[in-house]
Amino acid sequence: MTAHQVRLNGMEMHFGEQGEGEPLLFLHGMTGCGGDWQYIGADLGAGYRLIAPDMRGHGRSTNPTGVFTHRQSGF
């Protein structure tokens, strides 16, 4: 996966991207990170542009306010 980082809603969001084709967004569960999807297998998302973000305060994404609510867990 190729790593990317963007500024979004006052935070730095990290996400991984691989493949080509129609976008397919993979979201991790609480306490996880986008990199967790690598354990599923090398063919994960074959034929799609796979995008796997780290939620606010998870993985390599920041949480500058130090507050985390379920509403914020999206982005």
The token pair that represents 70 in the structure block: 């379920």
**Cβ proximity of 30 and 4 under 8 Å:** no
Q: What is the mean pLDDT of residues 16-40?
A: 91
What pLDDT, on the 0 to 100 scale, is given for residue 67?
A: 85
Residue owning tokens 């996880």: 32
Quick one: pLDDT at residue 62?
Answer: 95
Nearest to 34 by CA among 10, 12, 9, 17: 17
pLDDT above 80 for 50 = yes
Cα–Cα distance between 43 and 37 in angstroms, integer?
11
